[in-house]
Structures are given as structure tokens and as C-alpha cells.
Amino acid sequence: EYACMLKITEKSDVYSFGVVLLEIITGKRPVDPSFPDGIHVIQWVREHLKSKKDPIEVIDSKLQGHPDTQIQEMLQALGIALLCTSNRADDRPTMKDVAALLREIQHDTTSGAEPHKPKRSEASSYSSSSVTPAQLLLLQSNSHSSSISYSSSSAAAAYHSPRTSLT
């Protein structure tokens, strides 16, 4: 990102954190020799998800075979990594919010609670309800008719589409 913008910001750090998180989850380097056409890990994950393949396939094979709750945590962390590596810096969460999302994953799986869903008033700027980071995997696309946005007030990711409702 720095090479393109020649500017380092807090959102650049968030992007870098997202890349590191993708490396950990996928077991791949940012530019891995196994990727076709010299693409990077972010493109590889996005293309995999865009082709509607099973999101679990991007998880490092050494991490697969864990209990379902841990796989769910990995998928939620993958969703957070995708938020962190959004193309537009303004669409990325702050590191404070990333930390809150990561704590929420841990809390949800240890308490057995459902992920936080904001009240209708908190999500009023969106045409659909909030979704967990894992659900973002199914929604990730580069389409102009939909976008992924982040609401720091609810510390939850939301999918915004003028034509689609997830409720």
C-alpha cells in the first residue's frame, strides 16, 4: 500500500495487520510461489471466496481438523483480516476496533453466546442487519452493487447492499 500511496497512516498499519493475519490463517506468504500469476494473498483469498468455494479451503491445512468452534473462530478472524485489507482505507476499522472484534470472537466461543448484533437504531444506516465476520466471507466481492463497510459504533461488520437483505 505504501508503494502506491507513498504515505503511511494508521489505516496502513491496519492493512499490514490484516496481511499478517491472513498469513497466519492461510499459512501462505504475502506473495506465495503457489499463487497463480504472481497474485498476493489478499487477491488469492478474495478470488477463492468470489468463486464461491468453501472458505475452509483457504485455512492452512495444518490448522484444519480442529474442533468446529476453532474453525469458526478462524473463519471469523479471516473476515476481520478481509476488513483490515479493504482496498479503501476509509473502509478499514481502527486497530482499537480490530482488537474489540478479536476479543468478541474469543468471548463468543467461550461463553457460547451469539455474536453481538446491534439494535435496529445502531444499524439504521444499513439496509441489512449486521453479520459476523465469518458471514462476510460469503459476501466478499468487488461488485459495484455491494460493498463491505464497518460500523465502529457497534464493533460489528455490516454488509450493505441496496438490493439485498440478509434478514
Please tell me whether the overall predicted TM-score, pTM, comes out greater than 0.85 for this model: no
Determine, yes or no, domain membership for 120. no
The helix (H) or strand (E) run that includes residue 148 is strand 147-151
123 located within any domain: no
Say if residue 129 is exposed, middle or buried (CB neighbours under 10 Å; 0-12, 13-18, 19+): middle
Full residue range of the structural domain in which residue 95 is found: 2-115
Report helix, strand or coil for 111.
helix
Domain containing residue 24: CATH number: 1.10.510.10
pLDDT band, very low/low/confident/very high, at 140 (cuts 50, 70, 90): very low
Name the pLDDT band for 113 (thresholds 50, 70, 90): low
pLDDT tens-digit map of 78-112: 999 999 999 999 999 999 999 999 999 886 766 65
Angle between helices 41-50 and 68-84 (to 10 degrees): 110
- Look at residue 79 and tell me if it is in a domain: yes
Q: Is the pLDDT of residue 125 over 70?
A: no
Report which of residues 130 and 18 the model is more confident about.
18
Domain membership flag for residue 27: yes
Q: Burial, 152: exposed, middle or buried (Cβ in 10 Å; 0-12, 13-18, 19+)? A: exposed
Pair 133, 158: CB distance under 8 Å: no
Q: Domain tally for the chain?
A: 1
Q: Residue 107's closest CA among 51, 139, 149, 69?
A: 69
